[in-house]
Amino acid sequence: MAKVYFSEDHEWISVEGGVGIVGITEYAQEQLGDVVFVELPELGTEVEKGDDVAVVESVKAASEVYSPVSGEIVEINEDLAEAPGLVNQHAEADGWFYKIVLSDETELDDLMNRKDYDAFVEDLD
Amino acid sequence: MRYLPLSADDRAEMLDAIGAASVEDLFCDIPADVRASGVFDLPDHQGEMAVEQAFSALAQKSLSPACAPTFLGAGAYRHHIPAAVDALIQRGEFLTSYTPYQPEISQGTLQALFEFQTQVCLLTGMEVANASMYDAATACAEAALMAARVTRRKAVLISGGVHPHYIDVIRTQLAFTGIACDRLAPDPLGIEDLLGRVSPDLACVVVQTPGFFGGLSDFSALAAQCHANGVLLVVAVAEPVSLGALKPPGEMGADIVVVDGSSLGMPLSFGGPGVGLFAVREKYVRNMPGRLVGQTVDVDGRRGWVLTLSTREQHIRREKATSNICTNSGLCALAFSIHVALLGDTGLAKLAEVNHAAAVALSRKLAAVKGVKIVGPAFFNEFAVMLPKPAAEVVEALAAKGILGGVPVSRFYPSFPELENLMLVAATETNSDADMDALVAALKEVLQ
Amino acid sequence: MIEGQVFPSVPAGTVTGNRGLVVEEPLLFEQGSVAGSGVDLPEPRDVPDGLGGFRRTTPIGLPGLSEPQVVRHYTRLSQKNYSIDAGFYPLGSCTMKYNPRLNEKLARLSGLGDLHPFQPISTVQGALEMMHSLAVWLMELTGMAGVAMSPAAGAHGELCGIMAIRAAQEAKGNPRKIILVPESAHGTNPASASLCGYSVVAIPATSEGRVDIAALKEKLSDEVAGIMLTNPNTCGLFERDVREIADLVHAAGAFFYMDGANFNALIGRVKVADLGVDAMHINLHKTFSTPHGGGGPGAGPTVLSPALVAFAPLPFVRKTKDAFELVETRAQAGEAAHPFGRMKGFHGQFGVMLRALAYAMSLGKDGLRQTSGDAVLNANYLLARLKDVLTAPFDGPCMHEALFDDGFLKDTGVTTLDFAKALIDEGYHPMTMYFPLVVHGALLMEPTESESKQTLDVFIDTVRGLAAKALAGDADFFHAAPRLTPRRRLDETLAARKPVLRWRPDVAD
C-alpha cells in the first residue's frame, strides 16, 4: 500500500517499494491557475532533495518544483506534454510529474502526512 | 511651453485639492540640500523653428549619401524605401502605442507582429521566429546564450567570416557568464576549417552568409557535422535582400538564424535603430529569448492575437529568464514587414537580382583598374578588393572627391597588417552606371 | 476569400463582422497572389550570374500585393490599436508621454537620418556632434562624469552598468558574487545581474514601501559587488535614505546602480551624482519622449561615475580641439580607458538619440524642470482625488506615479484585472496592474506631464463611477468587460498550451 507525503513547497510523493511518484498538490494547482506547460527532468538524472527538478508554468507564472527526496528519476509523465491541463484536473493522480527511486527513505521523515499538510495549507490562507 | 498643458490656474487648483502649498513641497522626500544643488549649465526652452534650424545646421556638417555616389556596406546597406512604408509607420496608432500587453486594444500591433514572425520564418526557412530583437549583433549574442542553455555546454566557436561587431558583442555578452568564446581569425578568402573544429564540447558554431567579406557559403555539411556532435548551428545574415536569391539558412540545417533586418524598410540612420530577426527550430521555442505573438480566440470565438509564452521573460522569471530584454524593436519590425509585404515574392526576388547584377557589374569595372584585385569567392552584393595602398587613405581621398567608395577593413581590424589594403565595396539598386563610372575614375586618380 | 468566412462568429450582427470604422482584416497571407508586387523595380543589369549553386530553389511564399492593398491593410490594422495620440495611458512605470512630431521630422533630415555608419569620420562630423551634444545634456542633467551612449534600451543599459561594475571590481582584484536588488524591482534587474554572472539577493521593503536599511546592512558583505535600486521606486516613492544607502554600499566596497526608469520624476531638479550614484541608465523613450512604437526601438544611455567611466563600452565620441572622433577600438581608446567591450552593432540608437536631443532642446532646462513638476503634480492630484474610493497602501506625497491596491474591491467579486478591462470600454488604456509585486492586486497610475487637468478630471470621475459600480455588486458587468473593443478577452491559456506562432497555409482558418 502506497503511503503519501507532502512538502512545504506543495509537492506530494506517493511511495511504494522504494519508488516515489511525485506531483504538485491540489492547493498548488489552484494557486497557479491554468497550467500550460510542464518542464520535466531527464530520465536517469540523479537529484538531491530540494533540487529544482521541474518547472510548472501557467499563463502568467512559472514555479520551480523541488524534489521532496533524493534519488534517480526513472520515469516521467509523458502525457503532460500534450495535456498539461491534467495537472489542473487531477493534480494528485493523473497529473503526476515523475517517478523516482529513493536513495534515502529516512528523508520522508521530514515530510508531512495529509492531515498535517491540510493544516499547513489552512494556516497559509 | 508647447508640450505642457497645465496652466498656472490649473496648478493652483490642483495643489489646493492635494493640500500642498507648492509643487516644491511634493518633492519633500528628497533631501533639501540635494534639491538645492540642481543648477544646470544648459539652455532654456526654444521654439520649434529654432530647434529645427539647429538640426539643419548639424545636417549640413555631414556628407549625405543622397549627395554622393555611395558603395558602403559592411553590414549596413543603402536601399530605396517605398514611400508607403514611412507614411504607415508614422500613423500615431503604430508610432505612439505601447507594447501590446492589453490585447483587446492592440490587435493592430499584434496581427502585424504575427505576420512579421511568419515572414521571417518564410525568408529564413525556419519554423518559429520571435517579434524581433534590438539588432543582429545583440541577437547573435542571444543566440549563443540560448545555445548554451539548450546544450548545457560552455563553449562557442565563431567563424572569422562573421561581422566583427557581432563577434565583439557576443564576446562582451558572454564574458561574465563562464561560457568560453573561441573566434577564428578574419577570413577574407573563405578558407577557414570549421568542420575540423566541431567538437562535442561546443554549444554552437556561429557563421555568416554572405560573410563579412562578401563571400557566400553553403553550411549544409557544417550543419550535419554540428548535429552529429550535438552542436547547434547559428547562421547570421547581415543583408536580408540576399534571402530573395540565396538558399535560406533553414534549408542548410541551421538551428538558429539571426538577420539584420534594417536593409528593408528603415533608413540607415548612422546604424541605428535597426532590427534583429531571430528564428529557430520549433523544438527550441521555449528556450528562445524575446517576445512572441501567438494566435488564439476571444470569448466570442473570433480569431485574435496575444503575447504568449511570456513565462520565459524577465518580468516573470526574473533572474531565471531566457534574457533580460523587455523590449523588441517593434516599429522597425513593422517597417521591415511593410517593405516585405510591398515587395512580395516576386519583388524581393527581383530586388535581389538587381543587387547582385549591380555588384557583378561594379566588380568587373573595378577589376579593370590597375592595381585593384577582387578578393575571395562568389559574392551577393558586396565584395572585398585588395588595393595597392592602405584602404583607409584611399577611402578618405575618395571622400574628398565626393564619393563614398567603400569601407576599409582596417577600421575593424587595425592590428592585422595583411588587411590594411583591403576595402569592402557594396552595390545596390540605388547605384547608377554613372555612380560606378565616377567611382572608377576617382579610384584611378587616387591610385596614381 | 470573403472576410466573413474567415471570421465565422459575428457578434456585431453585421454580415461581415465589421463594426463601422472597425473593419475585420485578414492576414497578409490570406490576400493576393504570389505574382503581384507593390514595388516597381528596374531590370537587373545584363551580366553573368555569380550565384550558381548558392541560389534559392524554392519560392519564399510571400503574397504579392499592390501598394493600395498594403496601405489599406496596415491602415485597418492601425485602427485596432490604442495610442497616446488618441487617448490617455495612466500606465505606471511606463511613462507614456506625448511624442513630439518635430522629433520625427528632424530624424528624417538628409545629412542625419540617411548617414551610413561607416562613412569616413570626416564626412559625419554633424552626426558625431549630435551624439556628443546629447551626451553633454545627459551628463549635466545627472552631474555624472561620463555616459555610455550605445545601450539599445533600458534593460540593455542595466546590463551596461552592471558590466561596468563587474569590470571595475575585477580591476580591483575580485569580481565578487552578489548583486542586491529590492523586492519591488523591475524583473529586468535580477535578469541583468544574472547575465553578468552574479547571484541576486533580495532586500525586503519596510511597511512604508521603502528599502529596509537594517536588512540592507545585514546583507552587505565583501561579496556584494553592487546594489540595483530604482529611485523613485516602483511604488512611486522616493527612497529618502538614498544617501545613507549609497554610503553603506560604498563602505562595503560595492557600487550603487540606480535604475533610472523613473528619472522623469527627478529631471531638472536633482543631480543624481549628489545621491552617490555610480551608474544609471536613462530610458530615452520615457524621460525624453521618443515614441514607444508598439514595443521599441528604445535607447538606454548609461551615465557613469568617475569610478566607472574608464570601463565604458565601445564605441564613444570624443571631442578633440577641432573635430569629433569616434573611438571604435581599444587601440584608439588609449591607455587610460579600459572598455569592457561592445554592446551593440554600429554606434547605438542614433535615431532615438536624435529625437531625445530635439526634445531636450525644445524644453530646455526650465522646461525639463517643469515636466517633472507637472508629472509629480498630476500624480499627486490623482492620489488625492481617488484615495477616498480606492485604497492607497502608502501615504503621499508620491512622486510621478500613484499606487493603489485592490483593498477597495474586497468581497465585490471584481479583480484588479476586471476593473482595468472595464476602463478599456470607457476609452482608457488600463493602468499598470499587479506591479509592483509588493502590493496586493496593485494598480499603478502614472499620468505624466502631458495630460491636462480636464483629462484627469474626466478620468477621475470615470474611476470613481466604476468603483461605485463594483461596490454596488455589479460584478457581471466587470467580468464581461471589455465589450466594445475590436476583440474581447482573449484565451491566453489556449495560446500558451497550443502555440500557433505563425501562419501556415493549412491552418489558415
**Residues forming beta bridges with residue B260, ordered by sequence position:** B276
Residue environment code for B206-219, b if the CB has 16+ CB neighbours within 10 A, otherwise e: bbbbbbbbbbbbeb
The CA distance from C7 to B379, in Å, is 46
Chain position carrying cell 558603395: B71
What's the confidence (pLDDT) of residue C205?
87
Q: Which residues in chain A are contacts of C496 at CB distance < 8 A? A: 36-37, 57, 59
Residue B392: pLDDT above 90? yes
Report if residue C92 sits inside a domain. no
Report if residue C319 sits inside a domain. yes
User: pLDDT tens digit string along B346-383?
Assistant: 999 999 999 999 999 999 999 999 999 999 789 999 99
Whether the CB-CB separation of C326 and B152 falls below 8 Å is answered with no
3-state secondary structure C189-246: HHHHHHHCCCEEEEECECCCCCECHHHHHHHCCCCEEEEEEECCCCCCCCCCCHHHHH
Residue B436: pLDDT above 80? yes
Whether the CB-CB separation of C46 and B353 falls below 8 Å is answered with no
Q: Which residues in chain A are contacts of B320 at CB distance < 8 A? A: 62
The CA distance from C372 to C198, in Å, is 34
Option in B99, B112, B247 nearest C77 (CB): B112
How many other C-beta atoms lie within 10 A of the C-beta of residue C75?
Answer: 16
* C315 & C221 share domain: yes
* C255 & C399 share domain: no
Q: Which of B392, B404, B428 is nearest to B68 (CA)?
A: B404
Domains of chain A: 3-120 (2.40.50.100)
What's the confidence (pLDDT) of residue B318?
65
Chains touching chain A, criterion 3+ CB pairs below 8 Å: B, C
Task: Report which DSSP code applies to B174.
Answer: H
User: pLDDT tens digit string along B86-107?
Assistant: 999 999 999 999 999 999 999 9
Those residues whose C-beta lies under 8 Å from the C-beta of residue B393, and which sit 6 or more positions away, are: none
Asked if B327's CB is within 8 angstroms of C155's CB, the reply is yes
Asked if A57's CB is within 8 angstroms of C497's CB, the reply is no
Alpha helix ranges (H) inside C65-110: 67-78, 101-107
Asked if B332's CB is within 8 angstroms of C346's CB, the reply is no
What's the confidence (pLDDT) of residue C8?
42
Whether B222 has its CB under 8 Å from any CB of chain C: the answer is no
Q: Which residues in chain B are contacts of C450 at CB distance < 8 A? A: 3-5
Q: How confident is the model at residue B316 (pLDDT cuts 50, 70, 90)?
A: low
Pairing of strands C224-230, C255-259: parallel
* C193 & C277 share domain: yes
What's the confidence (pLDDT) of residue C5?
41
Those residues whose C-beta lies under 8 Å from the C-beta of residue C485, and which sit 6 or more positions away, are: B104, B105, C424, C425
- The grid coordinates listed for C470 are 463594483
Whether C56 has its CB under 8 Å from any CB of chain B: the answer is yes
Residue B172: pLDDT above 50? yes
Q: Which residues in chain A are contacts of B311 at CB distance < 8 A? A: 36-37, 57-62
B window 4-63, beta carbon within 8 A of C: 4-6, 10-11, 13-15, 17-20, 23, 25-31, 34-35, 37-38, 40-46, 48, 51-52, 54-63
Chains touching chain B, criterion 3+ CB pairs below 8 Å: A, C
Residue B319: pLDDT above 70? no
Specify the 3-state DSSP secondary structure of B201.
coil
Whether C492 has its CB under 8 Å from any CB of chain A: the answer is yes
The residue out of C325, C358, C391 marking a domain boundary is: C358
What's the confidence (pLDDT) of residue C6?
42
How many other C-beta atoms lie within 10 A of the C-beta of residue C364?
Answer: 18
Positions of chain C with pLDDT lower than 50, given as ranges: 1-10, 507-509
The CA distance from A23 to A34, in Å, is 16
Distance from CA of A58 to the nearest CA of B (A): 8
Whether the CB-CB separation of C351 and B273 falls below 8 Å is answered with yes
What's the confidence (pLDDT) of residue C281?
97
Q: Which residues in chain C are contacts of B423 at CB distance < 8 A? A: none
Report if residue C216 sits inside a domain. yes
Whether A120 has its CB under 8 Å from any CB of chain C: the answer is no
Report if residue C68 sits inside a domain. no
* C479 & C449 share domain: yes
Option in C62, C188, C381 nearest B324 (CB): C188
* C352 & C390 share domain: no
DSSP B264-295: TTS--GGG-S--EEEEE-GGGGGG--S--EEE
What's the confidence (pLDDT) of residue C4?
39
* C326 & C447 share domain: no
Total number of domains in chain C: 2
The residue out of C358, C391, C414 marking a domain boundary is: C358
What's the confidence (pLDDT) of residue C508?
45
* C426 & C331 share domain: no
User: pLDDT tens digit string along B204-238?
Assistant: 999 999 999 999 999 999 999 999 999 999 999 99
CATH of residue C156's domain is 3.40.640.10
Task: Report which DSSP code applies to C506.
Answer: G
Residue B443: pLDDT above 90? yes
Report if residue C11 sits inside a domain. no
Task: Report which DSSP code applies to B247.
Answer: P
Distance from CA of C1 to the nearest CA of A (A): 33
CATH of residue C413's domain is 3.90.1150.10
* C344 & C375 share domain: no
Report if residue C133 sits inside a domain. yes
Pairing of strands B276-280, B256-260: antiparallel
Asked if B317's CB is within 8 angstroms of A37's CB, the reply is no
Q: Which residues in chain C are contacts of B353 at CB distance < 8 A? A: 44
Task: Compare all CA atoms of chain B with the CA of A62 and give the residue at the minimum distance.
Answer: B311
Domains of chain B: 65-81+344-447 (3.90.1150.10), 83-339 (3.40.640.10)
Q: Determine which helix (DSSP H) or strand (DSSP E) holds A46, and give its type and residue range.
A: strand A46-47
Task: Compare all CA atoms of chain A with the CA of B287 and give the residue at the minimum distance.
Answer: A39
Which residue out of A32, A57, A58, A63 would a mutagenesis test of the B interface target, given it has the greatest number of B Cβ atoms within 10 Å? A57
Report if residue C274 sits inside a domain. yes
Prediction ipTM score: 0.97
Asked if C238's CB is within 8 angstroms of B294's CB, the reply is no
* C350 & C393 share domain: no
* C335 & C194 share domain: yes
User: pLDDT tens digit string along B118-156?
Assistant: 999 999 999 999 999 999 999 999 999 999 999 999 999
* C305 & C376 share domain: no
Whether the CB-CB separation of C79 and B383 falls below 8 Å is answered with no
* C273 & C338 share domain: yes
Asked if B58's CB is within 8 angstroms of C295's CB, the reply is no
Whether the CB-CB separation of B50 and C106 falls below 8 Å is answered with no
Whether the CB-CB separation of C166 and C225 falls below 8 Å is answered with yes
Distance from CA of A53 to the nearest CA of B (A): 14
- What letter represents residue B87's amino acid? A
The CA distance from B386 to B373, in Å, is 5
Q: How confident is the model at residue B315 (pLDDT cuts 50, 70, 90)?
A: low
How many other C-beta atoms lie within 10 A of the C-beta of residue A49?
Answer: 17
Phi-psi region of B310 (alpha: psi -120 to 50; beta: other; left: phi over 0): alpha
The CA distance from C192 to C199, in Å, is 10
User: pLDDT tens digit string along C112-131?
Assistant: 999 999 999 999 999 999 99
Distances (CA, A) of B366 to B220, B374, B385, B425: 32, 8, 8, 10
Task: Compare all CA atoms of chain A with the CA of C496 and give the residue at the minimum distance.
Answer: A36
Pairing of strands B155-158, B204-208: parallel
How does the average pLDDT of chain B come out, rounded? 95
Distance from CA of A34 to the nearest CA of C (A): 7
Instruction: Provide the domain limits for residue C392.
Output: 370-494
Whether C293 has its CB under 8 Å from any CB of chain B: the answer is yes
- The grid coordinates listed for C126 are 554633424
Distance from CA of A51 to the nearest CA of C (A): 17
- What letter represents residue A119's amino acid? A
How many whole angstroms from its chain centre is CA B123? Answer: 16
Report if residue C255 sits inside a domain. yes
**Residues forming beta bridges with residue C443, ordered by sequence position:** C404, C433
